[in-house]
Each structure stands twice: as C-alpha cells, then as structure tokens.
Amino acid sequence: MNIFKEIAGRVCAAWALITFIITFILILPFALISYLFKEPASTAYFTKVSKIWMRVWMFLIGCPLRICGTGNFEKGKSYIVTCNHNSLLDISLSSAFIPGPNKTIAKNSFAKIPVFGWYYSKGSVLVDRKSEKSRKQSIEKMKAVLKAGMHMCIYPEGTRNRTGELLKPFYNGAFKLAADTGHAIIPGVIIGTKTAVPLSKPFFFLPRRLEIHFLEPVAVGNKTAGVLKEEVFHIMQDYLLQHQ
C-alpha cells in the first residue's frame, strides 16, 4: 500500500508542477497589467489576479479551499498578518487570500528564477537573511507597505517548520514592526499544507483540503514586541490544538 502511495505522491507532484507552469504562463500577461497602476492600486490588482490563479490551480490539483475570518479585516485599515509555515503552499494561501492588497516578506533567492522571479518579487518584500543591511532595509520597506494602506504578511517562524511541534519559536521581527507602527496583528492559521506536501518526502504531493483561518486582531496598545510575540504564539498554538 505504501508503494502505491509513494507512486501516487510523485505523479500528483508532477501534475501539480506542470499545471502550475501552464497556469502561470496563462495568467502572466494579466499580471503585467498591474504596472499600469500606482500603489496601492497596483498591488490590489495584482492580488486579485493571484487569487484567480490560485483558485484555478488549486481546483486542478484537487485541493478544496476553505477561507475563514476575512471579516476580521476592517475596511480602511492595514494589518500585520502572521502565518504559520509548513510548506511552499502556504505562500499561495496567504498572499492570494488575504483580503485586500498585501505583500509577503520573502527570501530573495526565488527572485532569481527567470520570469517567475518577477512575479514573486512583485508580491514580496525581499530580504537576504545573511545580510544585516538587507534585513534593516526590509524593515523600512515593510513600514512603507503598511503606510501605503496594504497588509504585510510575515511568517514569524522564519523558515518552514520541520519539527514535530505545532509551531517553531517565533522571531521578533513581526512584533517589533507592530510595536513600532501600532498596526494590529491578525494571526493567520494555515491547515492542511503539512500533510499535502510533507517536508520529509522530496517531490511528493497528495491532494488535501487546505484552509486558512484569519483570527481576531491583536491590538498593540502599550505592549512590547516580546509581549506581543508571546500572546500571538499562544493564540495560534491553541487554535491549532483545537483544529488539527
């Protein structure tokens, strides 16, 4: 039985890759139109195109979507969205389905991929984690994103969670950004991507129901970055315990 599952996982992974490339080529001309607009209208349009692309692709690869809690985003406000990170599919769920224009903090290595690197860069604030200068510049860029009325999506675990725990310990960046700017944090809990694309198996994918739950905003008030980090960590951890 395991042999059949392993074969099916590789076949599904190949299908997912092929359909990803084909749908990306088809959607790219529409995404390029975003350059005709100024921010935040440019990113707002780009996000809508991404949402259509991801809905089509998720349908083709057999992953039903459930998006919950979009009503927690108050119109006219920009938020810092903190998402757990288990798989590359997390980016598809977060950036495309956060209500309204948004950018994601992302490592700059993917930006070097021909053609796709442009698309990836458009929806991201890029950072070279090995460069202190780049990390400092990314903070200022994220503040500019929020000031422009867009949401900023951050994965506080830093990298994909390869541990047996529900969450890895959080880094300070998202919470320092919140404390510095006063923008509330909306925890985003992603469910299903860890089993769809297990990190222990190379080039493996099995269709699963995928979900992202946007929880109630966490106000900054007079809280320090450390207090915010602990509060958001426990909110997300408790939610995962209840819904896994």
The answer to whether residue 203 scores a pLDDT higher than 80 is: yes
Burial 48-79 (b: 16+ CB within 10 A, else e): bbbbebbeebbeebebebebebeebbeeeebb
Asked whether residue 1 carries a pLDDT value surpassing 70, the answer given is: no
The CATH-assigned architecture of domain 2-243 is 3-Layer(aba) Sandwich (3.40)
Q: What is the percent of the chain where pLDDT is above 70? A: 100
Cβ atoms < 10 Å from Cβ of 1: 5
> Is 54 a residue whose pLDDT tops 80?
yes
Domains of the chain, residue spans: 2-243
Structure tokens, 203 = 């080039």
Query: What is the tens place of the pLDDT at every residue in 156-183?
Result: 999 899 999 999 999 999 999 999 999 9
From residue 179, alpha-carbon distances to 127, 174, 224, 241 in Å are 21, 9, 6, 27
219-229 confidence digits (pLDDT tens): 999 999 999 99
What pTM, to 2 d.p., does this model score? 0.94
CA distances from 21 to 16, 24, 43, 243 (A): 9, 5, 22, 32
